[in-house]
Structure 1
């Protein structure tokens, strides 16, 4: 029988935790994590899930889809309208890599620290 575990947090390495938390706060509407500081900042969803951002010395951004610096993992976000969500996220500082393997089903963007994340249709 599998262990009963509840996911409570995901943490991403970065050079500037406060800036990355601000990006995701604007993108998701999550609340700022109450213990955010210069070395760790986060955003918290209503149910308690935290996306955290931790400062790492000599941080190197993933190079997606190139694996020179691998992505290690990525986040997926479900949205109602791919075009609208993409435009908003690009205005907030996300980037859209040229390589888009999802066709009309999903879009790959990168956050300001270079982490890839996907937008999928609701």
Structure 2
């Protein structure tokens, strides 16, 4: 039985978060997040989806489709289960759990089988 997970945020690495947020705002019409700054900018969609942009020092742009420099993004999923239940199930499915967990008991950072990080958060 699959988990009940809802995609709630997508975060992209970039060298200039405000500039990339401005581009996507123009392209999509999404509203700017009120706490955006030079290190992290975001956009809000009316249904609650958040699109974020985080500054990365020495950022190297993806070279799609050849993947010499892979694509970079971070997914967050809202879960119906408790963090412990969802984490256990995801680990069973092949996710990994990094030692560094910066969000305390508000969220968990996991990695997919290919190593891409994602978060799970409770409703």
Q: CA 1:53/1:72 → structure 2, altered by over 3 Å: closer, same or farther?
A: closer
Residue equivalent to 1:40: 40
Deviation string 1:20-45 (CA, Å, 9 cap, x unpaired) is: 00000000000001221111001111
Superposed CA offset, 1:77-104 (max 9, x none): xxxxxxxxxxxxxxxxxxxxxxxxxxxx
C-alpha RMSD of matched pairs (Å): 1.3
Runs of 5+ consecutive residues of structure 1 not aligned to the other structure: 74-122
- Structure 2, unmatched stretches of 5+, are 74-123
Larger Rg: 2
* Segments ≥4 residues shifted beyond 3 Å: none
How much has 1:66 moved relative to structure 2?
Answer: 2.1
TM-score by length of structure 1 reads: 0.56
Structure 2 CA distance for aligned equivalents of residues 65 and 56 of structure 1 = 21
User: Aligned residue pairs: how many?
Assistant: 73
Q: Tell me, in whole angstroms, the C-alpha distance in 1 between the residues paired with 2:48 and 2:35.
A: 13
Deviation at 1:3?
1.5
